[in-house]
Amino acid sequence: MGNQDNSIQREDNISNDSQLSEGSNNQQHNKKPKWLNKKNITIILTLLVVIIAGIFLFIRSSNAYGAKTPEEVSQKFLEAIEKEDYLKASDYVYYACSERREEVRKELQEEVNKDDKRKRYVNKAIYRGVYVFSKGLMVEKIVEENGKEPYALLKEKPDSNRNRSGGWLLLKKVKNRWYVNLE
């Protein structure tokens, strides 16, 4: 009888061991890495969304032409003219289509490449008269009349030795961006 009791105990031990090993196998399959929980997943996904949005906004703003306000577009256009950076000035000019913008930029680039890099004079470029006229001027104020596009009233810079009455730059708002309207 003692042998039977021992064999029964061994079978019980074997079955208990197999149950324990099955239980530990189930626990191992259900175990997730410690860093992989709902809180961390939420944080990681939020960071990814913020990074992607930041990249999108950076790309969009770096290629944007025009400016956010009428004052800004007028000022930046005149600053580019003053530095004789006509390519930069063309970024603030309104063009009816992107093909026209590229055509003007190509023509300006050819003129810059012909001349000495220190002198960026535009000899035959489109809007040459406006560029030459605008040199030495600054924005006095932005005039907004009801029902009309606003314009920038210009005046001579105090250190300018030219004696001329100011002028104006017509401004245009397209898709929440402001442009100088030379057309």
The reported pLDDT for the residue numbered 31 is 65
DSSP H or E stretch at residue 180: strand 177-180
Residue 51 lies in a domain: no
Q: How many domains does the chain have?
A: 1
Residue 77 lies in a domain: yes
Q: Which of 33-37, 59-63, 66-70, 162-166 has the lowest mean pLDDT?
A: 59-63
> For residue range 115-140, what is the model confidence (pLDDT) as tens digits?
555 444 555 456 667 767 777 788 88
The reported pLDDT for the residue numbered 96 is 86
Q: Domain residues for 87?
A: 64-111+120-180
Percent of the chain with pLDDT over 70: 64
pTM equals: 0.59
Span 93-110, average pLDDT:
84
Q: What is the CATH number of the domain that holds 127?
A: 3.10.450
Report CA torsion sign: 107, 109, 113, 115. positive
Residue 3 lies in a domain: no
The burial class, CB within 10 Å (0-12 / 13-18 / 19+), for 3 is exposed
Residue 165 lies in a domain: yes
Label residue 110 by pLDDT band (50, 70, 90): confident
Residue 147 lies in a domain: yes
